[in-house]
Structure 1
Amino acid sequence: MWLCIFTVILSLACITNSSAQSIPFSSDKWDISARETRVENYFGRESLYLKGGQAIFKDADFKNGVIEFDIAFSGERGFMGVIFRVQDSRNFEDFYMRPHQSGKPDANQYTPVFNGDSGWQLYHGEGYGAAIKYEFNNWMPVKLVVSGKRAEIYIMDMESPVLVTHDLKREIAAGKIGLKAGNLAPAHFSNFRFRNIDNPELKGVPPKVEKASETTILSWQVSNNFPEAFLDQKHKLSKQDKESLSWQKFACEETGVANLARLQSPRDGKNTVFAKVVIRSDHEQIKKIQFGFSDRIRVFFNDRLLYSGNNNYASRDFRFLGTIGFFDELYLPFKKGENEIWMAVSEDFGGWGLLAKLENLDGVKIQ
């Protein structure tokens, strides 16, 4: 008898875990906040029209498993998709589609959001976006399979993932699930459902990650945030300039990227921090440093301003994305003994980050 009861319970658990019913958008379990939203019939089915906001399913407690929905949109410029492991309105994992980039390598995007700052300029290329041609003005099925630090995204073809994300950037923590559409083009959603599964099957092969070289700066001291205007017309840092700063040690990701939004938000006009490092040289020498940043930077070396740069979205031409990489370089005049590099990094949107590496470690040591 007990064996029969156990078998029934196990069977029910398997059924619950292996299938999920669509959740109607008319349910009061949705928390919808958007510029435009309505539940309407679209292409023969109930759907949620969404523009300029999010629809959060309040009862979700999702860590690992499968999220599925259908989406329809035009070819207009827009950003629509799904957010998951939502901790609050400013901290979650984000996957969205770019209809206007259909067929191109950045037709979609995975990015973490830390403290309200989306990091797409820091996370680009293989593992963060993939080429796919969308079917406009038609229902397209979408499936996310999430397991630990990995995720696979399926669009239209439910057997082969279009994107394999090898390293979800936020901590592995259960949270809510939501649908989203940006302020530009709207999207329709239907047939939303999800399943919590501890170890869902993953089919894709994760891309190889190019780890940082030994010359990369992998740890910074990062200051509290302050208004960018504090540095206007400042060509040398004084003792008084430094007195108001507090510091915390910050470890970079394995690629060398320092996502500064992990520590604090660039809100309320305080959009700038210093990231500093001490490098000891055993003699006077000139050494090249390569670096990347988002969005703007001022580089002080031993208190003197050596460089100012702008990497903003569309700052160089209308196609310029402002993505981060080792695209800038300086030749630093090291003195014998301790030398300090202070990089003031300012953020508007799209990613608050920094990475840097020396040409070699001959005669120097990164403290």
Structure 2
Amino acid sequence: MYAQSIKAAKSESSSEIQIPMKAEYWKSDTATTEFTTYKNTKVIKGKNGSAFQVFLKNHNFSNGTIEFDVELSGMGFPGINFRMSEDHKNGENFYIRSFGAVKPETRTTLQYAALMDGMSIWDLTDEYQAGATIYQNKWNHVKLVISGKQMRVYINDMTKPALIVPELEGGRNSGGISLSGNVIYANFTVKPNATEGLSPESGYIVTTGDTRYLRDWMVAPVKDFPFGREIKFSLPSMYGKLTTSELPDSNTKWSPIKAEARGIVNLTRIYGLKENDARRLTWLKTTIESDKDQEKILNFGFNDEVWLFLNGQIIYVDKNYFGTPVQKSPEGRCTIENAIIKLPLRKGKNEIMIALANYFYGWGIIARLGDTDGIKR
């Protein structure tokens, strides 16, 4: 019956599928979700101001155009997930930050982030934010054009995209759709394979050919690292009691990991989510070869805590806790702006080894040399 209804809902003039905002088309929680009429339009909204999430039934989305109207009626992060896995843990996520009126110049209004193991990696995806004209107490029209690796998002102004994503990072080609937030949704349509000429290949990413980025790393197995613990490493001591070290040794098992197109070494992709704010730790290492003794600048980003060693010596320790005074710019995200570190390189091979702890959302690093003069990797 559902398939027949969807077929009947198709526009006679195009392949557009109009998805009715009725309970039989969406999987929902009746305690939080209401299907009703609002402003003479069939809508989905939160019951008694509740936040909610609804899942489109019996629809597998791959490429095409998705459009809908949304009225921002509450505080939160209303948005859409698409190409979702059956367990709803992996896919792509686009949302609006809804915390009252915003100016079009506010860069953090829109966000794209991949879903990995049930978690949005928004704090590893600073590049994919944008401003837009967002209306309060009236409909906002949203259009997503999705083709292979690329996506363009239009908000209210359909003449130019507000957000361009050159490479979707969820790693899935197709899957389900959901809507969420403390908002009101209406007029949901899907146009399968209507991609407006957008190439399915990855678009231009400025970091791709930048040889300053450290891209080839080795990573150690992850382990639990409860709060209160610190890395032990050798320090100068008058009494010889500070020589204990937890740095990896010859028994440590290493696996290769490469930075992704934006330069991020994304550990979330391989280690997934650990619930209940569980703090975990892993080690990363790479080698830089210098043709002489020299000092290099390393622009460095990380989430959430780091201990950085060069040739076995500690040279940098820091924390990047979102929502605290010690969070790094911008707002606790992992970006190349987090830190500037001086590397005293010696002639020959130099080993960078990093202990990285995380408990909050995305987990990763990004590292870029100030220049590559006299450097071989």
Shorter chain as normaliser: what TM range? 0.7 to 0.9
Match of 1:250 in 2: 257
CA positional deviation for 1:60: 1.6
Corresponding residue for residue 210 of structure 1: 206
Q: Return the alpha-carbon distance in structure 1 between the equivalents of residues 310 and 358 of structure 2.
A: 21
Distance 1:347 1:233, change over 3 A: closer
Could you say which residue in structure 1 is the equivalent of 2:3? none
TM-score of the pair, normalised by structure 1? 0.82
Q: Please provide the CA RMSD for this pair.
A: 3.1
Q: For 2:372 and 2:326, locate their aligned partners in 1 and report how far apart those are by CA, in whole Å.
A: 36
Q: Which residue of 2 aligns with 1:78?
A: 76
63-72 vs 93-102, which moves further: 93-102
Q: CA deviation at 1:361?
A: 3.5
Which residue number in structure 2 is paired with residue 234 of structure 1? 232
Q: Is the 8 A contact 1:313 1:320 kept in 2?
A: no
Answer yes or no: is the 8 Å Cα contact 1:85–1:175 preserved in 2. Answer: yes
CA distance in 1, matches of 2:36, 2:359: 36
Superposed displacement of residue 202, structure 1:
4.2
Q: Is the 8 A contact 2:65 2:193 kept in 1?
A: yes
Answering whether residue 15 of structure 2 is matched by residue 18 of structure 1, we say yes
Distance 1:63 1:223 in 2: 35
Q: Which residue does 1:37 correspond to in 2? A: 33
* Partners of 2:336 and 2:368 within 8 A in 1: no
**Is 2:293 aligned against 1:298?**
no
**1:354 aligns to what?**
365
SS in 2 for 1:152: strand
The aligned runs of 1:144-163 (5 Å cut-off) are 144-163=144-163
Percent of paired sites with the same residue: 29
1:340 aligns with 2:354: no
**Counterpart amino acid of residue 340 in structure 2:** E
The Cα shift of 1:287 comes to 3.1
What is residue 268 of structure 2 aligned with on the other side?
261
Shift of residue 25, structure 1, vs aligned partner: 3.0
| Aligned-partner Cα distance in 1 for 2:315–2:224 | 20
Q: Distance in 1 between matches of 2:13 and 2:288?
A: 57
Residue identity in the other structure for 1:37: T
- Asked if structure 1 preserves the Cα contact closer than 8 Å seen for 2:11 and 2:17, the reply is no
* Structure 2 residue aligned with 1:280: 289
Q: How does 1:216-227 map to 2 (within 5 A)?
A: 216-227=213-224
Deviations 1:172-205 (A, max 9, x none): 5111011022xxxx111122221321644449xx
Partner residue in 1 for 2:318: 309
Q: Which runs of 5+ in 1 are unaligned?
A: 1-12
What is aligned with 1:63?
62
Which secondary structure state, in structure 1, belongs to the residue aligned with residue 129 of structure 2?
Answer: coil
Paired residues, what number? 344
Task: Assess, with a 3 A threshold, how the Cα gap between structure 1 residues 304 and 58 changes in structure 2: closer, same or farther.
Answer: farther
Unaligned runs of 5+ in 2: 1-9, 235-243
Q: 1:116 aligns with which of 110, 118, 125?
A: 118
Deviations 1:185-227 (A, max 9, x none): x111122221321644449xx9963225322101211222222
Q: Aligned in 2, Cα 1:30/1:16: closer, same or farther, shift over 3 Å?
A: farther
Amino acid at match of 2:92: E
The answer on whether the counterparts of 1:94 and 1:110 sit within 8 Å (CA) in structure 2 is yes
- Is residue 225–residue 270 contact of structure 1 (8 Å, CA) maintained in 2? no
CA contact (8 A) 1:117 1:352 kept: no
User: How big is each residue's C-alpha offset from its partner over 1:70-120, in whole Å with a ceiling of 9 and x where there is no partner?
Assistant: 11113x542001111112322110100012362212211111122233222
